Amino acid sequence: MTRIGKDWEKRLSGQPLQDSGFTPELKLKIRERVRMKKTKTKLAVRTALVLLCVLIAGSGWLYREDLNEMLFGKPSTTIAAVIEKDLLAEEGELTLRVQASQYSSFMNTFGKAFIIRHPSVRIELVNEPSQLQTLEEFEQWAEKEQPDIYTLPLHYYAELATEGKLQPLDAWIKSDDLDMAAFHEPVIDLLREAGGGQLYGLSPDFATFGVYINKALFEQHGIPLPTDGMTWEELLHIAARFDGTGVTGLRLHDSPIKLAQYIGQTNGVQAVSSDGSAVTMDTPAWEDIWSQVATGIQQGWIQSEASQSWTGTRSMKQMMEGDPFAMGEAAMRLEASYYMNSLSHYTNIEGLELDWMVVTEPVNANEPNRATHYYGGTVYAVNAASPHHKAAWELVKFIHSEAMAEKLERTGNTLLVRKGALSSATAAELAPFYKLEPDPVAVLEEYRMTMGGTSRAAAQNNIFQQKGDALLQAVIQEEMTVQAALQQLQTELEAVPAQGGEQ
């Protein structure tokens, strides 16, 4: 057995390391080592790979987690095996430009692990300016910077795909025999709908809503636990049963107008049409919704909270102590899927004792499998103008690999599109978030309305949120009737086209 002597540092001298942590000479030697006769012992290979780790660490990039998995994990994932299968080796030295935000964690999450597997590739993050507010401004920036890989919100993905600026993926998926059955089908369907029937990008995660339940409070007050598939009428009826108990039935971390909007969306009650041409606020359906919300808040079994501005920072303990659901003061909380991470932190780190569960968000009785809230994660797409299509696709494919899904699962902060990477215990806990499916057309319309910049519908949505909140608050304070408030909001929304000069 060859021992590593005390002069190992001297024997590592040579060309300076490049951005990827490898010199051309080193990469050649690595591949030569990979091709050594298989009679060499595993220990000898590991010794060589330990030296490689030292070299990579010397470059200032510490790939500890990814290297540890390769060195001491499954034999199929060793560095030697990975580099031997490097499909980009014949491409030569190249740089992939990846669109990123200022505080992107892309390199730590994906980039470094990819470079280890493809040492001839360098990744350059192209920071998107924070002041870009519209699609037009984004496209002007993208035209100048030309990233090889886009990281897009769903509505930008849809527009760029329509304009032919993204590379279709279906042919590559078929050629590489990528198992699409491993991906959560509703997310893929949403991406296909946004791409006009074709797939132009992939997303590793998504988010949706659920109703979080404090099981002890239901047991204490003899109220049956909520179940998956409840309607809003059923949920509000359960919340009202906590009236007079000193406990809030339903808590939401948002304004009253948001709750009214959620109920309307689930039940198919619109405030304005998708193009903003028709306003339907002054209707019996909205009057019923506003009356339910106002009554619940007045009587105390619904508790809402408008967004607050905080100065300085708050510790997780302070956040926990300011959370009525976590403190046992609210029986239910309507919240996004990522709220689970806060609860896990409260219990595992802060020592909170809370017996909780989650059920699906309320549904429309006529569409019991349909989700109201569905948020696609970042969409990774290849620029159609990229000169490095093959390498860019390899990176997108790697981001959505089983290995990366398992890595994301360990962080515990997202719903994975590759749900097969979830442990059985985690899968059971998250099951309610995977039960409902979105209406892709409705999700895209919602994105365009809320993120549409200067469009008529977007302007109307802003008025609905701002003026509607003030008017609903006036109803709660008994300063206006519901009918008068809705008539005023109807007038305000109808005035938007005239203000915008559009008919």
At the top level of CATH, which class does the domain 94-204+377-436 belong to? alpha beta
| Residue 320 pLDDT | 92
Within 8 A by CB and 6+ apart from 111, the residues are 98, 123, 125
Stretches where the chain sits below pLDDT 50 are: 1-24, 26-62, 64, 70-76, 307-309, 499-503
Long-range Cβ pairs for the range 102-105 (8 Å, 24+): 102/127, 102/128, 102/130, 104/151
Please tell me the distance from the alpha carbon of residue 279 to that of residue 491, in angstroms, as a whole number. Answer: 9
Cα(322)–Cα(497) distance, integer angstroms: 42
What's the pTM? 0.82
pLDDT given for residue 86 in this prediction = 72
Domain boundaries, the chain: 15-85, 94-204+377-436
Longest dimension (CA), the chain: 88
**Residues 214-271: pLDDT tens digits?**
999 999 999 999 999 999 999 999 999 999 999 999 999 889 999 999 999 999 999 9
What are 96's strand-pairing partners?
123
Burial of 2 (0-12, 13-18, 19+ CB in 10 A): exposed
The continuous run of DSSP H or E covering 473 comes out as: helix 456-476
pLDDT at 51: 44
Q: Could you read off the pLDDT of 279-290 as tens digits, one per residue?
A: 999 999 999 999
Residues 167/385, Cβ–Cβ less than 8 Å: no
- For residue 473, give both structure tokens: 């608050």
The closest alpha carbon to 197, from 170, 172, 173, 178, belongs to 170
